[in-house]
Amino acid sequence: MNPLLDHRLLINRRHFFGRVGLGSAALTALLNDEALAAPASGAMPTGGLPGLPHFAPKAKRVIYLFQSGAPSQLDLFDYKPQLVERFGTDLPDSIRQGQRLTGMTATQDHFPVAPTRFQFAQHGRSGAWLSELLPHTARMADELCFIKTMHTEAINHDPAITFFQTGAQLAGRPSIGSWLSYGLGSANRDLPAFVALLSNGTGNPADQPLYDRLWSSGFLPTTHQGIKFRAGGDPVLFLSNPAGFDSSGRRRMLDDLAKLNQMQLAEFGDPEIATRMVQYELAYRMQTSVPELTDVSREPAAAFDLYGPEARKPGTFAANCLLARRLAERGVRFIQLFHRGWDQHTKLPTQLPGQCRDTDQPSAALIADLKQRGLLDDTLVVWGGEFGRTVYCQGRLTKADYGRDHHPRSFTIWLAGGGIRGGVTFGQTDDYGYNVASDPVHVHDLHATLLHCLGIDHTRLTYKFQGRHYRLTDVQGEVVKGILA
């Protein structure tokens, strides 16, 4: 401690503004429990900005099933039967157009075309083409909107994943869920507005790591960061009371701590102090709400049958999909599932089936479950990775084996639910599945569309940081009107 330095710090601009009330205003905004109408469950909503949503929303929440590692669109969604005749031929320069390559294939002398080894068929009234690896998803084809012309600016995993989460390739910006928490607040004061769930796939168990900054609030107040739920032990770290410390003791401690924090807030006017107070209170309420949420013992056997054999095993994608439905029922605003294992640079024919077994049934079950409970109409579900895979083989191509490198120029994702037309295939790629032929959709366009479904004009949800007004879509993005219901 340095009393002289402490005294000097008090006589500054922050201290002045704290004295005249800005600190109290920040706390009032963060603690505003009346900003939104109470949901049917009776849980009180919290936060949100005045004037949001900008217009009547079609969706109230988002469940984002992020497939980390980049699923191969050519083996799952983008059917190109003509490639069979081109097996092993070099990808024409007129198609590749000098596209930059990763370090994995930059030294290859040839880029041999690798047709998929898996069978495709059309499904539903919409006639959507899907791989035999996705039989459960195929049964939901008429609920889904397939965008086949997604494209991104990043060619390596970390910047590409960061771009999808934050709208920027460099770390430090707020994630999608944090923007929604900031703009719309929470629909349940007893649970976070933004929850992240992680699972490992069987396709490539040693796949790219995932970092906590992917659900960070960036430069937004930290009360808007995502809360990661764990599969083992306490679902949320430090939620349980230590041995010998009961709930009443925790309540008295928090009340005393709140008084100390309020004194500091009055002195310094730092909004992060107000954030800390809000987070302590949320953690206290979560001591009751989270155990009830994660206790699936009362779910009927039919629910576990629907989501598949791994639904009873915590930490699996199936279990996380079931938990996502329970979170949606309780008003959590943004639920993001990260599933690793989709990075098939080699041995794709043997790795991809296992990865699809992890995700196919649970993803389809989530759509069916939300629909039968009347939740799909106002829940927007997104499924997709950070980029696609190349039509050419990485490494040695044989009739039985091939791998695919990263491909940012065109790939497939699907959406369903709140505000999105079902039974739609949007956009076309060229004969090689390499370039966008019509209706391109950029990452910023996807973000603008997600916000639109939630009643937000993406150009108006901004936050001033270091002298600039930032937004999720940076200075780009157009709503993809062709997929809106």
Question: What's the confidence (pLDDT) of residue 273?
Answer: 81
pLDDT greater at residue 98 or residue 76: 76
Residue 98 sits in a domain whose CATH number is: 3.40.720.10
Distance (Å, rounded) from C-alpha 167 to C-alpha 415? 19
| pLDDT tens column, 263-314 | 887 888 787 787 777 776 777 677 888 888 999 999 999 999 999 999 999 9
| pLDDT tens column, 382-437 | 999 999 999 999 999 999 999 999 999 999 999 999 999 999 999 999 999 999 99
Residue 365 has pLDDT above 90, yes or no: yes
Share of the chain above pLDDT 70, in %: 89
In a domain, 163, yes or no: yes
Question: What's the confidence (pLDDT) of residue 301?
Answer: 97
Question: What's the confidence (pLDDT) of residue 235?
Answer: 80
In a domain, 131, yes or no: yes
In a domain, 29, yes or no: no
In a domain, 37, yes or no: no
Nearest CA among 86, 125, 91 for reference residue 108: 91
What is the average pLDDT score of the chain? Answer: 89
The residues near 287 (Cβ < 8 Å, ≥ 6 apart) are 239, 240, 241, 247, 250
Question: What's the confidence (pLDDT) of residue 201?
Answer: 96
Question: What's the confidence (pLDDT) of residue 45?
Answer: 61
Share of the chain above pLDDT 90, in %: 75
In a domain, 294, yes or no: no
In a domain, 278, yes or no: no
| pLDDT tens column, 112-141 | 999 999 999 999 999 999 999 999 999 999
Question: What's the confidence (pLDDT) of residue 2?
Answer: 52
Question: What's the confidence (pLDDT) of residue 264?
Answer: 83
Q: How far lies 211's CA from each of 34, 102, 201, 219, 222, in Å?
A: 34, 22, 16, 17, 17
Signed CA dihedral, 183, 187, 189, 191: sign only: negative
Q: How far lies 452's CA from each of 45, 78, 378, 403, in Å?
A: 21, 27, 13, 37
| pLDDT tens column, 308-324 | 999 999 999 999 999 99
Helix axes 176-184, 443-453, angle to 10 degrees: 30
Confidence of residue 17 (pLDDT cuts 50, 70, 90): very low
The residues near 464 (Cβ < 8 Å, ≥ 6 apart) are 470
Write the DSSP assignment of 178-245 as a string of letters. HHHHHHH-BS-TTS-SEEEEEEE-SS-TT-----GGGG--TTS-GGGS-EEEPSSSSSSTT-SPPTT-
Question: What's the confidence (pLDDT) of residue 268?
Answer: 81
pLDDT greater at residue 375 or residue 292: 375
Residue 346 has pLDDT above 60, yes or no: yes
Average pLDDT of the segment spanning 444-459: 98
Question: What's the confidence (pLDDT) of residue 233?
Answer: 74
Question: What's the confidence (pLDDT) of residue 271?
Answer: 76
Q: Is the separation of the CB atoms in 61 and 39 below 8 Å?
A: no
Number of domains in the chain: 1
pLDDT greater at residue 4 or residue 408: 408
Question: pTM of the predicted model, to two decimals?
Answer: 0.88
* Coil/strand/helix, residue 463: strand
Extended beta strands in 260-354, E state: 334-340
Residue 213 has pLDDT above 90, yes or no: yes
| pLDDT tens column, 224-267 | 999 999 887 778 776 777 777 777 777 777 777 777 878 887 88
In a domain, 209, yes or no: yes
Residue 9 has pLDDT above 70, yes or no: no
In a domain, 90, yes or no: yes
Question: What's the confidence (pLDDT) of residue 40?
Answer: 37
Write the DSSP assignment of 93-126 as a string of letters. HHHHTT----TTTTT-S--BB---SS-EEEETTT
pLDDT greater at residue 248 or residue 440: 440
Nearest CA among 455, 458, 454 for reference residue 479: 458
Q: Range of 391's domain? A: 55-232+314-483
Nearest CA among 434, 433, 358, 343 for reference residue 98: 434
Confidence of residue 12 (pLDDT cuts 50, 70, 90): low
